[in-house]
A and B are shown apart, each in its own frame.
Chain A
Amino acid sequence: MPLIEVSDLVKYFPVRGGVFNRVIRQVHAVNGVSFAIEKGEILGVVGESGCGKSTLGKLLIRLLEATAGQVLFRGRDISNLSSAQLMPIRRQMQMIFQDPHSSLNPRMTVGAAVREMLAFHEIVPKQEIRAEVDELFSKVGIHTDSKEKYPHEFSGGQKQRVGIARALAVNPEFIIADEPVSALDVSIQAQVLNLLMDLKDEFDLTMLFISHDLKVIDHFCDRMLVMYLGFVVEEMPCRDIHADALHPYTRALLGANPSADPTQRHELTVLEGEVPSPYDLPVGCPFAARCELVTQQCRHEMPPLVDRESGHRVACWEV
């Protein structure tokens, strides 16, 4: 049984307006997304800003309520649980955010921020909290002398380590990492990715790793979902995405990514046109307006996400 199973997840954000403040239209953020994550697996979610990848992460942990669809955690539907019923499950799911600065309380020392997690969830007896904080800090590579410092005294990479320590404090099984390395410099990004990889093995973690950076997803994840306009357009293993990717949008993302090798200069793929409005979704394929391979069928009929071979699913009529 997969650890996480998501079926037909939908999220609309109502936009209110007019004299009676009625719902005048809906932002279609996530449009019927289904996938599963096996225990110990890292699933990447990649896409451009506004494609619904962060919303998807928040729906999984119920920081947002889904409009429709189900999230099963170890086979149990958590979409309708009360907050009291949800509490023990929340402890098993933790989130790491993009901007470690805004996710830490500036008036709380980093030690206190981690202590709070341990005390609130009653992870260890009171007298062992201090020792546990020290251990967590040493695991994420922060000197234990630093624990009485405030967030502003740390660099971005160190703050992200504190965010990771806080997430790990409750011994979670499942981590949602929303752009955890996007705000970091490349050398620090490498440190944090290595740390996440080590911790994944040590704590036997399962992860949903959200990023706009295909290079990082390709390197770090076992499988990935490619999202466009709230739809999953491709789902595939990450072993060799340059060779395996099929969907024209995934190919365009790959082609637009500048390679750090000046001997391989290539004409960067430039997508013409703009992303369609999430208020009125197109009838056919969401990518039809910008796709090179577009046909009449694409404009009128939504392609289903079809299994091509072991775990590689593509939503396209033409490839």
Chain B
Amino acid sequence: MRSTPSTFELLPIAPFMPHTTMPLATPLLDVRNLSVGFRTDRGDVTAIEDVSFQVRPGEILGIVGESGCGKSVTSRSIMRLLPERNSFVDSRSEILFDGVNLAQADESVMRSIRGNRIAMIFQEPMTALNPVFTIGWQLDEALKYHTKMNRSERRTHVVEMLRTVDIPHPEQRYREYPHQLSGGMRQRVVIALALCCGPELLLADEPTTALDVTIQAQILRLMDELRKNSDTAVVLITHDLGVIAQICDRVIVMYAGQIVETSEVQPLFARPQHPYTKALLESIPQPGPDHHQARLPTIDGVVPSLFELPAGCRFQDRCPYKVEQCVTEQPRLSKEVHMRKVRCFFPINES
């Protein structure tokens, strides 16, 4: 049956519930003042600066921003996947996961957490899977390492996981290699791999960017079910504001290595406070005859190079509201008001 646009808009995926009305659960992940830099041929460079946020069980936190804004560095530093050779984490940074500071944790502690209590999904499913081992072998390996299950229990569990992520004929797929699956199925296998130890926190770094929209819809539905059924906390990194609008509860907007705005999803889209957020939202093509072939509002200029950051606000060169103060002084992230913070001297849409 063909649904008309008006009917399918009325079926909510997860009705929006402002967190202010609910008692706040203790955060599972509490990132405080995370600053990460890299040593390069051109000298040291700070990739992310003073990033702080919290994620609670059952919550989907979106991190959005353009290429090079530091969203992937954030997730990789939580997993401690950045190369120690040329990266450094500021000593004041804290990554508290269930009370344990991951920024200072031993590699042995990290190994027991990685893939077990915290799992990660990467953008390119082909590189996350080993081409010379079967799907079943790769899922089995994670269970062998992290659980005490015996061989037949593991096999049953793996087949069950493949069924959970909607892989048809899981017993047969168990014996197949990654190249025998389509892109969407591979990404679902990567998700099964991430989920097989029942993680409490899932870090998804552009999980749907390389996929077609119909496959993306499957993956997003899966993540939404996961947080509802298993109370998993999800950090979803994406550049797609549509994905953020559809499934996230709260969102962090990053620009040139800093958080510029953080808010619950609905107020952010309704009343963006940072000029960058506003401009980003406006530059999305809108459907409908009124907007057809109209000029899109753009953000002039480009993101500043991390090597040549301006003294004041990092968005100053592209901001239509720039004044003298923005050039000389760096704005700080404001105190939280109604679950919102913004890094701007003159936030727009302030109530």
Contacts and interface: CB of A to CB of B under 8 A. Distances in A.
Interface in B241-291: 241-246, 265-266, 269-270, 279-281, 283-289, 291
B288 A269 contact: no
Contacts of B240: 186, 258
A260 B3 contact: no
Contacts of B145: none
Contacts of A190: 283-285, 296-299
B298 A268 contact: no
A262 B66 contact: no
B319 interface: no
Interface stretch (B135-143, B155-163, B208-216): B208-216
B148 interface: no
Contact of B284 (A191, A197, A260, A271): A260
Nearest to B303: A155
Interface residues of A, number: 57
A274 interface: yes
Contacts of B281: 260
B220 A258 contact: yes
Given A258-B245, A265-B16, A269-B8, A241 B220 contact: no
B241 A49 contact: no
B293 A220 contact: yes
A263 B243 CA distance: 13
Interface string B58-87: 000000001100000000000000000000
A197 B298 contact: no
Interface stretch (A62-70, A113-121, A169-177, A210-218): A210-218
Given A261-B245, A270-B218, A186 B283 contact: yes
Interface string A259-298: 1111111111111001100000000000000001100000
B205 to A, nearest CB: 16
Contacts of A197: 293, 295
A157 B302 CA distance: 9
A284 B186 CA distance: 28
Bin the interface of chain B by size: 35 or more
Given A156-B67, A274-B182, A293-B1, A262 B16 contact: yes
A267 B294 CA distance: 29
B99 interface: no
Contact of B246 (A241, A258, A292): A258
A319 interface: yes
A267 B218 CA distance: 11
Contacts of B22: none
B37 interface: no
A216 B221 contact: no
Nearest to A240: B289
Contacts of B287: 215, 218-219, 241-242, 259
A53 to B, nearest CB: 12
A248 interface: yes
B214 A253 contact: yes
A187 B246 contact: no
B220 A193 contact: no
A216 B293 CA distance: 10
A132 interface: no
Nearest to A319: B2
B347 interface: no
Interface in A301-319: 319
B215 to A, nearest CB: 8
Contacts of B16: 262-263, 265
Interface string A206-244: 000000101110111010000000000000001111110
Contacts of A265: 12-16, 245-246
B316 to A, nearest CB: 16
B105 interface: no
A212 B213 CA distance: 8
- The dominant DSSP class at the A interface is helix
Contacts of B298: 187, 190-191, 194
A90 interface: no
B296 A193 contact: yes
A292 B241 contact: no
A38 interface: no
A79 interface: no
A255 interface: yes
A186 B295 CA distance: 14
B23 interface: no
B280 to A, nearest CB: 6
B288 A240 contact: yes
A122 interface: no
Contacts of B66: 185-188
B169 to A, nearest CB: 12
Interface in B61-119: 66-67
Contacts of A157: 302
A48 B8 CA distance: 22
Most buried by A among B16, B217, B269: B217
B198 interface: no
A22 to B, nearest CB: 24
Nearest to B242: A258
A194 B283 CA distance: 11
Given A194-B296, A216-B285, A255-B3, A268 B241 contact: no
Q: Which 5 A-B pairs have the closest CB atoms?
A: A219-B285, A258-B242, A268-B217, A190-B283, A190-B296
Given A186-B280, A212-B212, 8 more contacts: A186-B66, A219-B285, A219-B287, A220-B285, A251-B2, A252-B214, A254-B5, A269-B8
